[in-house]
Protein backbone atom coordinates (compact mmCIF):
# COMPACT_ATOMS: atom_id res chain seq x y z
CA UNK A 1 0.00 0.00 0.00
CA UNK A 2 2.98 2.28 0.54
CA UNK A 3 3.64 1.90 -3.19
CA UNK A 4 -0.07 2.01 -4.16
CA UNK A 5 -1.04 3.69 -7.42
CA UNK A 6 -4.59 4.34 -8.51
CA UNK A 7 -5.81 3.00 -11.88
CA UNK A 8 -5.09 5.39 -14.74
CA UNK A 9 -8.79 5.76 -15.47
CA UNK A 10 -9.40 7.34 -12.05
CA UNK A 11 -7.02 10.27 -11.49
CA UNK A 12 -7.10 12.76 -8.62
CA UNK A 13 -7.96 12.67 -4.93
CA UNK A 14 -11.60 13.66 -5.29
CA UNK A 15 -12.32 11.06 -7.99
CA UNK A 16 -10.50 8.42 -5.93
CA UNK A 17 -12.70 9.35 -2.95
CA UNK A 18 -16.13 9.64 -4.56
CA UNK A 19 -16.13 6.93 -7.24
CA UNK A 20 -15.12 3.98 -4.99
CA UNK A 21 -17.71 4.95 -2.37
CA UNK A 22 -20.51 5.05 -4.93
CA UNK A 23 -19.59 2.47 -7.58
CA UNK A 24 -16.65 0.30 -6.50
CA UNK A 25 -17.21 -3.44 -6.06
CA UNK A 26 -17.33 -4.15 -2.31
CA UNK A 27 -17.26 -7.93 -2.01
CA UNK A 28 -16.50 -11.00 -4.10
CA UNK A 29 -19.15 -13.37 -2.79
CA UNK A 30 -22.86 -13.02 -2.02
CA UNK A 31 -24.26 -10.04 -0.15
CA UNK A 32 -23.04 -9.85 3.42
CA UNK A 33 -25.62 -10.65 6.10
CA UNK A 34 -24.81 -9.27 9.53
CA UNK A 35 -26.28 -10.33 12.86
CA UNK A 36 -27.16 -7.32 15.02
CA UNK A 37 -26.63 -7.28 18.77
CA UNK A 38 -27.53 -4.43 21.13
CA UNK A 39 -25.13 -3.50 23.93
CA UNK A 40 -26.31 -1.47 26.93
CA UNK A 41 -23.86 1.29 27.84
CA UNK A 42 -22.89 2.30 31.40
CA UNK A 43 -25.04 5.46 31.06
CA UNK A 44 -28.18 3.45 30.16
CA UNK A 45 -27.89 4.15 26.43
CA UNK A 46 -27.27 1.57 23.70
CA UNK A 47 -24.81 0.68 20.96
CA UNK A 48 -25.72 -1.60 18.06
CA UNK A 49 -23.01 -4.01 16.94
CA UNK A 50 -23.16 -5.91 13.64
CA UNK A 51 -21.45 -9.32 13.68
CA UNK A 52 -20.28 -11.65 10.93
CA UNK A 53 -19.11 -15.17 11.77
CA UNK A 54 -19.67 -17.38 14.80
CA UNK A 55 -16.26 -18.94 15.56
CA UNK A 56 -15.23 -17.40 18.89
CA UNK A 57 -11.71 -18.81 18.64
CA UNK A 58 -10.88 -17.34 15.22
CA UNK A 59 -9.18 -13.94 14.97
CA UNK A 60 -11.68 -11.09 15.37
CA UNK A 61 -11.58 -7.82 13.45
CA UNK A 62 -13.29 -4.97 15.32
CA UNK A 63 -13.97 -2.10 12.93
CA UNK A 64 -14.84 1.51 13.77
CA UNK A 65 -16.56 3.55 11.06
CA UNK A 66 -16.08 7.14 9.98
CA UNK A 67 -18.29 10.21 10.25
CA UNK A 68 -21.91 9.18 9.55
CA UNK A 69 -20.76 5.69 8.57
CA UNK A 70 -22.19 2.23 9.27
CA UNK A 71 -21.95 -1.36 8.03
CA UNK A 72 -23.56 -0.08 4.82
CA UNK A 73 -20.39 1.91 4.07
CA UNK A 74 -18.26 0.61 1.21
CA UNK A 75 -15.19 0.08 3.38
CA UNK A 76 -17.14 -1.86 6.03
CA UNK A 77 -18.49 -4.22 3.38
CA UNK A 78 -15.02 -4.72 1.90
CA UNK A 79 -13.36 -5.50 5.25
CA UNK A 80 -16.21 -7.81 6.26
CA UNK A 81 -15.81 -9.63 2.96
CA UNK A 82 -12.06 -10.03 3.63
CA UNK A 83 -12.85 -11.46 7.08
CA UNK A 84 -15.38 -13.89 5.59
CA UNK A 85 -12.93 -15.12 2.96
CA UNK A 86 -10.03 -15.53 5.40
CA UNK A 87 -11.82 -17.26 8.29
CA UNK A 88 -11.91 -14.24 10.60
CA UNK A 89 -14.84 -13.04 12.66
CA UNK A 90 -15.96 -9.42 12.19
CA UNK A 91 -17.86 -6.89 14.28
CA UNK A 92 -18.65 -3.22 13.80
CA UNK A 93 -20.04 -1.42 16.85
CA UNK A 94 -21.89 1.66 15.58
CA UNK A 95 -21.18 4.98 17.20
CA UNK A 96 -24.22 6.32 18.99
CA UNK A 97 -27.01 7.29 16.63
CA UNK A 98 -25.40 5.74 13.53
CA UNK A 99 -27.17 2.37 13.44
CA UNK A 100 -30.44 3.72 12.09
CA UNK A 101 -32.04 4.51 15.45
CA UNK A 102 -31.55 7.62 17.57
CA UNK A 103 -29.66 6.89 20.77
CA UNK A 104 -31.10 7.88 24.16
CA UNK A 105 -28.47 9.92 26.02
CA UNK A 106 -27.79 13.66 25.55
CA UNK A 107 -24.63 12.90 23.55
CA UNK A 108 -23.53 11.54 20.18
CA UNK A 109 -19.97 10.65 19.14
CA UNK A 110 -16.75 12.44 18.24
CA UNK A 111 -13.25 12.00 16.84
CA UNK A 112 -11.53 11.79 20.22
CA UNK A 113 -13.97 9.41 21.89
CA UNK A 114 -11.29 7.04 23.21
CA UNK A 115 -13.25 6.05 26.32
CA UNK A 116 -16.12 4.82 24.13
CA UNK A 117 -13.64 2.94 21.93
CA UNK A 118 -12.16 1.27 25.01
CA UNK A 119 -15.61 0.26 26.25
CA UNK A 120 -16.60 -1.14 22.84
CA UNK A 121 -13.38 -3.14 22.59
CA UNK A 122 -14.05 -4.48 26.07
CA UNK A 123 -17.52 -5.61 25.02
CA UNK A 124 -16.08 -7.39 21.98
CA UNK A 125 -13.44 -9.08 24.13
CA UNK A 126 -16.10 -10.37 26.55
CA UNK A 127 -17.83 -12.08 23.62
CA UNK A 128 -14.76 -13.52 21.90
CA UNK A 129 -12.00 -15.90 22.97
CA UNK A 130 -9.58 -15.54 20.05
CA UNK A 131 -7.09 -12.75 19.25
CA UNK A 132 -8.47 -9.30 18.44
CA UNK A 133 -7.28 -6.61 16.04
CA UNK A 134 -8.97 -3.26 15.37
CA UNK A 135 -9.25 -1.02 12.34
CA UNK A 136 -10.65 2.51 12.40
CA UNK A 137 -11.64 4.55 9.36
CA UNK A 138 -11.34 8.35 9.24
CA UNK A 139 -12.98 9.65 12.46
CA UNK A 140 -13.03 6.11 13.88
CA UNK A 141 -9.33 5.72 13.18
CA UNK A 142 -8.38 8.87 15.06
CA UNK A 143 -10.49 7.76 18.03
CA UNK A 144 -8.90 4.28 17.91
CA UNK A 145 -5.40 5.77 17.94
CA UNK A 146 -6.39 7.99 20.88
CA UNK A 147 -7.46 4.83 22.74
CA UNK A 148 -4.13 3.13 22.01
CA UNK A 149 -2.29 6.25 23.17
CA UNK A 150 -4.23 6.51 26.43
CA UNK A 151 -4.06 2.76 27.11
CA UNK A 152 -0.31 2.62 26.58
CA UNK A 153 1.19 -0.70 27.66
CA UNK A 154 -2.18 -2.09 28.73
CA UNK A 155 -3.62 -1.93 25.18
CA UNK A 156 -2.05 -5.25 24.25
CA UNK A 157 -4.28 -7.09 26.71
CA UNK A 158 -7.23 -6.20 24.45
CA UNK A 159 -5.97 -5.70 20.89
CA UNK A 160 -2.85 -7.18 19.31
CA UNK A 161 -2.62 -4.53 16.58
CA UNK A 162 -4.54 -1.49 15.31
CA UNK A 163 -4.77 0.41 12.03
CA UNK A 164 -6.13 3.87 11.19
CA UNK A 165 -7.16 4.55 7.59
CA UNK A 166 -7.46 8.07 6.14
CA UNK A 167 -7.76 9.49 9.64
CA UNK A 168 -7.57 13.25 10.32
CA UNK A 169 -5.07 12.82 13.14
CA UNK A 170 -4.60 16.60 13.14
CA UNK A 171 -8.25 17.53 13.54
CA UNK A 172 -7.73 21.26 13.04
CA UNK A 173 -5.91 20.74 9.73
CA UNK A 174 -8.58 18.33 8.53
CA UNK A 175 -11.44 20.48 9.78
CA UNK A 176 -10.18 23.58 8.01
CA UNK A 177 -9.46 21.63 4.81
CA UNK A 178 -12.98 20.24 4.54
CA UNK A 179 -14.41 23.73 5.11
CA UNK A 180 -12.82 25.29 2.01
CA UNK A 181 -13.53 25.40 -1.72
CA UNK A 182 -14.76 22.23 -3.42
CA UNK A 183 -14.67 20.35 -0.13
CA UNK A 184 -17.09 22.83 1.44
CA UNK A 185 -19.44 22.67 -1.54
CA UNK A 186 -19.55 18.87 -1.74
CA UNK A 187 -18.35 17.02 1.37
CA UNK A 188 -19.40 19.55 4.02
CA UNK A 189 -22.91 19.74 2.54
CA UNK A 190 -23.10 15.95 2.36
CA UNK A 191 -22.21 15.51 6.03
CA UNK A 192 -24.41 18.35 7.33
CA UNK A 193 -27.36 16.98 5.34
CA UNK A 194 -27.59 14.08 7.81
CA UNK A 195 -25.87 15.56 10.87
CA UNK A 196 -28.21 18.52 11.29
CA UNK A 197 -31.48 16.51 11.26
CA UNK A 198 -29.98 14.02 13.72
CA UNK A 199 -28.90 16.87 16.01
CA UNK A 200 -32.39 18.41 15.83
CA UNK A 201 -33.88 15.03 16.75
CA UNK A 202 -31.55 14.98 19.74
CA UNK A 203 -32.76 18.46 20.71
CA UNK A 204 -36.39 17.29 20.54
CA UNK A 205 -35.40 14.39 22.78
CA UNK A 206 -33.57 16.70 25.24
CA UNK A 207 -35.06 20.22 25.01
CA UNK A 208 -32.65 23.04 25.81
CA UNK A 209 -29.55 20.97 25.03
CA UNK A 210 -28.24 23.59 22.58
CA UNK A 211 -29.45 26.50 20.44
CA UNK A 212 -31.63 25.41 17.54
CA UNK A 213 -31.06 28.72 15.78
CA UNK A 214 -27.28 28.47 16.01
CA UNK A 215 -27.34 24.90 14.74
CA UNK A 216 -29.47 25.81 11.73
CA UNK A 217 -27.07 28.68 10.99
CA UNK A 218 -23.99 26.42 10.98
CA UNK A 219 -22.47 26.30 7.50
CA UNK A 220 -19.45 24.10 8.09
CA UNK A 221 -18.18 21.46 10.52
CA UNK A 222 -16.32 24.03 12.61
CA UNK A 223 -19.58 25.86 13.36
CA UNK A 224 -21.51 22.60 13.83
CA UNK A 225 -18.93 21.30 16.30
CA UNK A 226 -19.02 24.61 18.17
CA UNK A 227 -22.78 24.35 18.69
CA UNK A 228 -23.23 20.59 19.05
CA UNK A 229 -20.24 18.25 19.23
CA UNK A 230 -17.96 20.18 21.54
CA UNK A 231 -20.37 21.23 24.31
CA UNK A 232 -22.22 17.89 24.38
CA UNK A 233 -18.98 16.01 25.00
CA UNK A 234 -17.26 18.18 27.56
CA UNK A 235 -15.16 20.48 25.38
CA UNK A 236 -15.06 24.27 25.70
CA UNK A 237 -15.47 24.86 21.95
CA UNK A 238 -14.37 23.49 18.59
CA UNK A 239 -10.76 24.59 19.03
CA UNK A 240 -10.56 22.81 22.40
CA UNK A 241 -12.18 19.68 20.92
CA UNK A 242 -9.89 19.57 17.91
CA UNK A 243 -6.78 20.16 20.03
CA UNK A 244 -7.57 17.58 22.72
CA UNK A 245 -9.05 15.04 20.31
CA UNK A 246 -6.17 14.87 17.81
CA UNK A 247 -4.07 11.70 17.82
CA UNK A 248 -1.01 13.17 16.10
CA UNK A 249 0.68 14.77 19.15
CA UNK A 250 0.58 11.51 21.16
CA UNK A 251 1.55 8.82 18.64
CA UNK A 252 4.83 8.20 20.48
CA UNK A 253 2.81 6.85 23.44
CA UNK A 254 1.47 3.85 21.50
CA UNK A 255 2.86 0.51 22.69
CA UNK A 256 1.21 -1.98 20.31
CA UNK A 257 1.75 -2.34 16.54
CA UNK A 258 -0.15 0.50 14.88
CA UNK A 259 -0.50 1.27 11.18
CA UNK A 260 -1.37 4.84 10.13
CA UNK A 261 -2.37 4.99 6.45
CA UNK A 262 -3.00 8.32 4.70
CA UNK A 263 -2.94 9.07 0.98
CA UNK A 264 -1.09 12.27 0.19
CA UNK A 265 -3.92 13.34 -2.16
CA UNK A 266 -6.66 12.90 0.46
CA UNK A 267 -9.00 15.91 0.05
CA UNK A 268 -9.82 15.93 3.78
CA UNK A 269 -6.35 15.42 5.26
CA UNK A 270 -3.59 17.73 4.00
CA UNK A 271 -0.33 15.91 3.37
CA UNK A 272 1.51 18.72 5.16
CA UNK A 273 -0.32 17.81 8.39
CA UNK A 274 0.84 14.18 8.42
CA UNK A 275 3.52 12.98 10.85
CA UNK A 276 7.03 11.98 9.90
CA UNK A 277 8.80 8.83 11.08
CA UNK A 278 10.76 10.60 13.83
CA UNK A 279 7.50 11.89 15.37
CA UNK A 280 5.70 8.60 15.97
CA UNK A 281 7.77 6.12 17.97
CA UNK A 282 8.92 2.60 17.22
CA UNK A 283 5.51 0.89 17.41
CA UNK A 284 3.90 3.01 14.68
CA UNK A 285 4.19 2.28 10.94
CA UNK A 286 3.40 5.09 8.50
CA UNK A 287 2.07 4.38 5.01
CA UNK A 288 1.70 7.57 2.98
CA UNK A 289 1.17 6.67 -0.70
CA UNK A 290 0.77 9.46 -3.24
CA UNK A 291 -2.61 8.18 -4.42
CA UNK A 292 -5.80 6.82 -2.85
CA UNK A 293 -8.03 9.75 -1.92
CA UNK A 294 -10.09 9.50 1.27
CA UNK A 295 -10.85 5.85 2.06
CA UNK A 296 -10.76 5.13 -1.66
CA UNK A 297 -7.70 3.21 -2.85
CA UNK A 298 -9.59 1.79 -5.87
CA UNK A 299 -8.21 -1.09 -7.90
CA UNK A 300 -8.88 -3.01 -11.07
CA UNK A 301 -10.39 -2.14 -14.41
CA UNK A 302 -13.43 0.11 -14.75
CA UNK A 303 -15.69 0.27 -12.74
CA UNK A 304 -13.15 -0.92 -10.20
CA UNK A 305 -13.25 -2.37 -6.70
CA UNK A 306 -12.28 -1.34 -3.15
CA UNK A 307 -10.76 -4.63 -2.02
CA UNK A 308 -7.11 -3.59 -2.37
CA UNK A 309 -7.47 -1.65 0.89
CA UNK A 310 -8.49 -4.57 3.15
CA UNK A 311 -6.04 -6.93 1.42
CA UNK A 312 -3.11 -4.65 2.20
CA UNK A 313 -4.16 -3.45 5.65
CA UNK A 314 -5.21 -6.88 6.92
CA UNK A 315 -2.06 -8.41 5.48
CA UNK A 316 -0.08 -6.02 7.68
CA UNK A 317 -2.27 -6.76 10.72
CA UNK A 318 -2.07 -10.54 10.25
CA UNK A 319 1.73 -10.32 10.40
CA UNK A 320 1.46 -8.72 13.85
CA UNK A 321 -0.99 -11.10 15.49
> Does residue 6 lie in a domain region?
no
Q: How far apart are CA 63 and CA 76, in angstroms?
A: 8
Q: What is the CATH number of the domain that holds 161?
A: 3.40.50.1820
> Domain for residue 122, yes or no?
yes
> What is the C-alpha to C-alpha distance for residues 54 and 73, in angstroms, rounded to an integer?
22
Encode pLDDT of 68-118 as tens digits.
999 999 999 999 999 999 999 999 999 999 999 999 999 999 999 999 999
Same domain? For 182 and 161 the reply is no
Q: How many domains does the chain have?
A: 2
* Residue that finishes a domain, picked among 230, 245, 260: 245
Do 259 and 305 belong to one domain?
Answer: yes
Asked if 81 and 140 sit in the same domain, the reply is yes
Same domain, 204 and 99: no
Domain ranges, residue 194:
172-245
Do 61 and 182 belong together in one domain? Answer: no
Residues 17 and 84 in one domain: yes
Do residues 141 and 264 share a domain? Answer: yes
Strand order in 132-137's β-sheet?
Answer: 35-40, 46-52, 89-93, 60-64, 132-137, 161-165, 258-261, 284-287
Active site residues: 138, 266, 294
Judged on CB neighbours under 10 Å (0-12, 13-18, 19+), 126 is exposed
Q: Which of 207, 227, 245 is the last residue of a domain?
A: 245
Specify whether 277 is located in the same domain as 312: yes
299-317 pLDDT, tens per residue?
Answer: 999 999 999 999 999 999 9
Query: Would residue 151 count as lying in a domain?
Result: yes
pLDDT of residue 29: 86
Pairing, β 60-64 against β 46-52: unpaired
The percentage of the chain sitting over the pLDDT mark of 70, rounded to a whole number, equals 100
- For the cut 80, the answer to whether the pLDDT of residue 18 exceeds it is yes
201-229: average pLDDT: 98
pLDDT tens digits for range 143-185: 999 999 999 999 999 999 999 999 999 999 999 999 999 999 9
Residue 191 lies in a domain: yes
Same domain, 25 and 131: yes
Boundary (domain end) residue, out of 228, 245, 262: 245
**What average pLDDT is seen over the chain?**
97
Q: Name the 3-class secondary structure at 231.
A: helix
Instruction: Please tell me whether residues 241 and 276 are part of one structural domain.
Output: no
In the chain the first and final C-alpha atoms are separated, in Å, by: 19
Evaluate whether residue 56 is within a structural domain. Answer: yes
Tell whether 7 is covered by a domain. no
Q: Is the peptide bond before 303 cis (omega within 30 degrees of 0)?
A: yes
Residue 1 lies in a domain: no
CA dihedral of residues 216, 219, 221, 226 (deg, nearest 10):
-50
- Asked if the model's pLDDT at residue 1 lies above 90, the reply is no
Same domain membership, residue 73 and residue 142: yes
Domain match, 257 and 142 both: yes
Within-domain flag for 41: yes
196: left (phi over 0), alpha (psi -120 to 50) or beta: alpha
Amino acid sequence: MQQYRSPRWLPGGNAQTIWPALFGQRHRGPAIQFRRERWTTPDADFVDADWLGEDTTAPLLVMFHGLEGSTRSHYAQAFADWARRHGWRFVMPHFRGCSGELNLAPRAYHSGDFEEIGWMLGQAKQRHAGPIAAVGVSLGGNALLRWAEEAGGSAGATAKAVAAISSPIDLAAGGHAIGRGFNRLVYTRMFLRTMKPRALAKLAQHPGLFSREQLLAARDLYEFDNVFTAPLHGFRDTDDYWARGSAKPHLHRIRIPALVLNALNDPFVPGSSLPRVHEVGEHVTLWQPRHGGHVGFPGGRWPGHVMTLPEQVMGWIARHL
